[in-house]
């Protein structure tokens, strides 16, 4: 049976995934912006978020949640983290029972500190819920460059079936049963990417970048494991793989935010000029709260939060990091 896909979210990553799945299954993507809907349907493009890149010609777009979801056999959610709850509640009337729901969003909800799959499960308790994540830069994938991702579901049979939905010749999809670890890795690495960008913007060298990435991986692994993730997940595509891509690519939104902060610009001015969401900006305060709650030391993430939310400068943050006590590299604290 040919599965029908309904994808929510017309941003760069949602559109890219919709273009991928449309190669394998009939896919309809929902977007609020009528210009985006028309651009996809008439021109097979999304110039607002993916200028100059061609989408698969069979992909359809709609401004109607009902039209997108009423016949969907799989629902894919690419909504920014702070809007995920409201959209999923609005969509509840149209999603059929038991349909699998897959999140693409790499963030945590402010206030509740919930992962996206937790939000979705609270609204759709009878549905299998998972996450697609990994080192996936939208523009590179649409340009035809090879990439790999992880589909994480508790039910291995559903994960294996969904592999066929997302996988294409140059987009390899692996399965994982660690939904918590995969999802946390995707959210937490954005905060580390801001830290790396801050160093780059301030003129730090490759040694500094490597140190921040490596110690950042230790931080996100500690918190992820404390929250129930598996250690092996953080050494894989969802963890180290995604962290490397986000911390080093010029296409990374979170690294860009960090670079601008490192140059001395205010977070308000940086966000105001961006058309796309950098999830790490909203996530860093949640990570700081979770670190306190689980008694996990996360000095890099804490300093990023201070720069974003407490008017500390990037240079002050790096001085603060240099002042922290160094212990054994293997110390879990």
Q: Which residues are catalytic?
A: 189
Torsion of CA 310, 110, 177, 242, to 10 degrees: -40
State the Cα–Cα distance between residues 22 and 14, nearest whole angstrom.
12
**318 close to 265: Cβ distance less than 8 angstroms:** no
Closest to 160 in 3D by CA, of 172, 169, 151, 168: 151
**Structure token digits, residue 245:** 């891509």
State the Cα–Cα distance between residues 185 and 242, nearest whole angstrom.
8
Query: Which ranges constitute the DSSP H helices of the chain?
Result: 12-21, 34-43, 65-69, 84-91, 116-123, 138-142, 156-166, 179-201, 206-226, 242-248, 253-262, 267-272, 279-293, 299-309, 314-322
State the Cα–Cα distance between residues 226 and 209, nearest whole angstrom.
26
Residues 6+ apart with CB under 8 A from 138: 12, 13, 15, 16, 50, 251
State the Cα–Cα distance between residues 24 and 72, nearest whole angstrom.
14
**Structure token digits, residue 262:** 């490192």
State the Cα–Cα distance between residues 150 and 128, nearest whole angstrom.
16
State the Cα–Cα distance between residues 326 and 215, nearest whole angstrom.
11
């Amino acid at each position: 049976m040919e599965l029908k896909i309904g994808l929510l979210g017309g941003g760069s990553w949602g559109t890219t995934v919709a273009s991928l799945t449309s190669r394998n299954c009939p896919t309809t993507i929902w977007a609020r912006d009528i210009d985006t809907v028309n651009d996809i349907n008439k021109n097979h493009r999304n110039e607002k978020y993916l200028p100059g890149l061609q989408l698969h010609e069979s992909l359809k777009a709609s401004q109607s949640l009902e039209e997108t979801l009423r016949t969907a056999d799989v629902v894919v959610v690419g909504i920014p983290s702070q809007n995920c709850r409201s959209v999923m509640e609005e969509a509840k009337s149209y999603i059929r029972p038991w349909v699998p729901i897959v999140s693409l969003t790499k963030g945590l909800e402010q206030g509740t500190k919930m992962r996206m799959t937790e939000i979705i499960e609270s609204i759709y308790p009878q549905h299998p819920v998972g996450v697609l994540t990994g080192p996936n830069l939208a523009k590179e994938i649409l340009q035809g460059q090879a990439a790999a991702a992880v589909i994480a579901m508790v039910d291995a049979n559903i994960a294996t079936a969904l592999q066929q939905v997302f996988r294409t010749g140059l987009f390899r999809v692996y399965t994982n049963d660690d939904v918590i670890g995969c999802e946390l890795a995707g959210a937490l690495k954005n905060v580390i990417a801001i830290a790396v960008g801050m160093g780059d913007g301030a003129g730090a060298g490759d040694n500094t970048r490597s140190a921040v990435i490596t110690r950042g991986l230790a931080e996100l692994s500690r918190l992820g494991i404390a929250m129930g993730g598996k250690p092996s997940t953080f050494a894989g595509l969802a963890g180290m793989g995604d962290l490397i891509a986000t911390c080093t690519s010029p296409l990374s939104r979170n690294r860009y935010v960090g670079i601008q902060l490192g140059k001395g610009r205010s977070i308000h001015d940086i966000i105001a000029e961006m058309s796309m969401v950098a999830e790490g900006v909203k996530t860093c305060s949640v990570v700081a709260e979770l670190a306190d709650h689980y008694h996990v030391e996360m000095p890099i993430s804490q300093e990023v939060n201070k720069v974003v939310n407490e008017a500390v400068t990037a240079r002050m943050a790096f001085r603060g990091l240099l002042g922290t006590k160094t212990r054994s590299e293997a110390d879990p604290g």
